[in-house]
Amino acid sequence: MTEFIAMLVLLGLALLWMVAWRRRRHFAVGALIGAVIALVASYWIRSLSLETMPIWLPALPFALVATTLFAFGALAWFWGED
């Protein structure tokens, strides 16, 4: 049953990607690159256990979001309307 659900999810994602490719190719390419990066990261993180996990790894998503928002805020401030 789990394989069937996983196959349905993958088929649904493939259909969504095909629609994205027809409408906005830049988005579809970015989604594909992001999926490949997530796949590589999942293999790397899967090999970690709680004993060998770096202390900074659990907080990394929050730090990336905060840094990204700060960078976009700085760009909006510099490029803002006159």
Query: What pLDDT score does 39 carry?
Result: 85
Stretch 62-81: mean pLDDT: 91
Question: How far is residue 72's CA from residue 66's CA, in Å, rounded to a whole number?
Answer: 10
Joined tokens for residue 70: 């700060």
In the chain, where are the structural domains located?
Answer: 2-78
Joined tokens for residue 64: 């990336």
pLDDT in tens, 12-71: 888 888 888 899 888 888 888 988 888 888 887 777 777 877 888 889 899 999 999 999
What does pTM read for this prediction? 0.51
> Residue 27: which residues within 8 A CB-CB, separation 6 or more?
20
> Residue 17: which residues within 8 A CB-CB, separation 6 or more?
28, 31, 32
